[in-house]
């Protein structure tokens, strides 16, 4: 029974990894089509904010035809794509911004963002020959033909963004300052189609993105998968005499491994926090601290476990089980909090939901089997004296 159960868990984790790898390997932009049936030579799945970029370039004339697609943060929100000739962030960006007007038509405006405190509509530093926008399927699309800022320079810093609303007089509201919003920038080669950044157009920001992803994966595997698996093993496999003492070693190994991975994830979280001054996620952080403390106390249960017939064993069981179920609930909750912060592709969240739902279904099935076994044992004990007559 233990071997079969563990095989199922390994299969689930393998499916999760496969789903994530397929998600990363396939480009969504290659399957996107436009109402004018126009084809573009290059496209990129931008790494943040569910955004995509299509373009064709005429190097001899220095003309770029581009389509930017993104999902606004609300249906009444705005989307924007910009080239920054002078820097790698928002200040200095030459932006195209689209939103839906009160009459239902799509509007495209240009913004020369000279500084973070000065965001005014105006002419850009380069010529915009054509600009238009569409809205369908929850995605806003900006179509534009522009003359690149500098003759012969086809590698640029670009920035993209989404916002929640636009006022009646056409002023866009501030965008959110989540990590995905802050990381929506990079460097793009229009000729080769190669892009870099997506975390700031530089090595440091790219490193922070990798650390965020590592932090998320470590904690999802630890608190979100291994700890629940360890609890399922302890609760259900020990019902079967043939699984003793294998269930205990499986349970202990699973929980100690989960704790070690969780500590590594916790450490990367501390490092990210120290590198992101002014950006805090209080709920996620506080739950993480609580999980680390509870799990550390739980590890001591392995060394403080009294014998089964000891008078303190009853109280130890309350302490061990209570903390274990608290870790289970808080761990899964914090995985979803982390997904909200990282804002990955929806496939990541869906993959985790599938895994945790499958574990829940297995637990429910084993719960039913366990009670059937218990009732049968009680029934056999109650009828045994009569059978011996």
Boundaries of every domain in the chain = 2-21+205-373, 32-201
- On whether the CB atoms of residues 67 and 36 are closer than 8 A, the answer is no
DSSP string, 155-201: EEEEEEEEES-B-TTSPBPPPP-SHHHHT-EEEEETTT--EEESSSS
Q: What is residue 207's predicted lDDT score, i.e. its pLDDT? A: 56
The CATH number of the structural domain formed by 2-21+205-373 is 1.20.120.1770
Q: CA 153 from chain center: how many Å?
A: 35
In this structure, are strands 106-115 and 94-100 parallel, antiparallel, or unpaired?
A: antiparallel
Tell me the pLDDT of the chain (389 aa) as tens digits.
Answer: 444 444 444 544 444 444 444 344 445 777 788 876 777 888 888 888 989 999 888 888 888 899 999 999 898 899 999 988 888 778 788 899 999 988 889 999 998 887 666 567 888 878 888 899 999 888 999 999 988 877 777 888 899 999 998 888 778 888 888 888 888 888 888 887 777 655 433 334 445 667 778 888 999 999 999 999 999 998 888 877 777 788 888 988 999 999 999 999 888 888 877 766 555 678 888 999 999 999 998 888 777 888 878 888 888 888 888 999 999 999 999 999 888 877 676 788 888 999 999 999 999 998 898 888 878 877 776 665 555 54
Q: What is residue 118's predicted lDDT score, i.e. its pLDDT? A: 59
Q: What is residue 362's predicted lDDT score, i.e. its pLDDT? A: 92
Q: What is residue 242's predicted lDDT score, i.e. its pLDDT? A: 77
Same fold, 2-21+205-373 and 32-201: no
Residue (of 145, 140, 64) closest to 98 by Cα position: 140
Q: CA 103 from chain center: how many Å?
A: 36
Superfamily the domain 32-201 falls into: Cellobiose dehydrogenase, cytochrome domain (2.60.40.1210)
Report d(CA 69, CA 61) in Å as an integer: 25
A 10 A CB-CB count for 119 gives 18
Q: What is residue 141's predicted lDDT score, i.e. its pLDDT? A: 93
pTM of the model: 0.51
Q: What is residue 228's predicted lDDT score, i.e. its pLDDT? A: 94
């Amino acid at each position: 029974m233990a071997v079969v159960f563990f095989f199922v868990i390994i299969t689930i984790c393998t499916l999760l990894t496969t789903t994530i790898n397929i998600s990363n390997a396939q480009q969504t932009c290659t399957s996107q089509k436009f109402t004018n049936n126009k084809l573009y030579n290059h496209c990129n799945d931008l790494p943040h904010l569910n955004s995509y970029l299509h373009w064709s370039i005429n190097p001899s004339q220095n003309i770029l035809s581009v389509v930017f697609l993104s999902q606004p943060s609300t249906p009444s929100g705005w989307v924007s794509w910009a080239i920054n000739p002078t820097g790698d962030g928002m200040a200095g960006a030459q932006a195209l911004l689209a939103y839906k007007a009160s009459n239902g038509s799509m509007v495209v405006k240009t913004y020369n963002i000279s500084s973070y405190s000065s965001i005014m509509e105006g002419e850009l530093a380069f010529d915009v020959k054509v600009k238009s926008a569409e809205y369908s399927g929850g995605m806003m699309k900006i179509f534009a033909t522009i003359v690149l800022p500098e003759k012969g320079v086809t590698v640029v810093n670009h920035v993209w963004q989404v916002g929640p609303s636009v006022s009646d007089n056409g002023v866009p509201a501030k965008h959110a300052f989540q990590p995905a919003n802050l990381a929506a920038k990079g460097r793009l080669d229009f000729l080769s189609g190669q892009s870099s950044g997506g975390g700031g157009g530089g090595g440091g920001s790219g490193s922070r993105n990798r650390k965020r992803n590592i932090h998320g994966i470590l904690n999802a595997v630890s608190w979100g998968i291994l700890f629940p698996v360890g609890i399922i093993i302890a609760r259900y496999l020990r019902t079967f005499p043939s699984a003793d003492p294998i269930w205990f070693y499986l349970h202990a190994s699973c929980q100690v491994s989960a704790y070690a991975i969780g500590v590594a994830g916790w450490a990367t979280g501390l490092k990210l926090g120290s590198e992101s001054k002014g950006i805090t996620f209080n709920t996620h952080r506080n739950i993480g601290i609580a999980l680390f403390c509870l799990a550390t106390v739980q590890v001591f249960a392995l060394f403080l476990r009294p014998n089964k017939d000891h008078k303190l064993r009853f109280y130890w069981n309350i302490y061990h089980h209570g903390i274990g179920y608290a870790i289970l609930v808080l761990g899964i909750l914090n995985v979803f909090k982390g997904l909200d912060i990282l804002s990955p592709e929806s496939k990541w969240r869906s993959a985790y939901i599938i895994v945790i739902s499958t574990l829940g279904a297995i637990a429910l099935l084993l719960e039913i089997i366990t009670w059937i076994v218990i009732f049968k044992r009680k029934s056999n004990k109650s009828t045994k004296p009569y059978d011996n007559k």
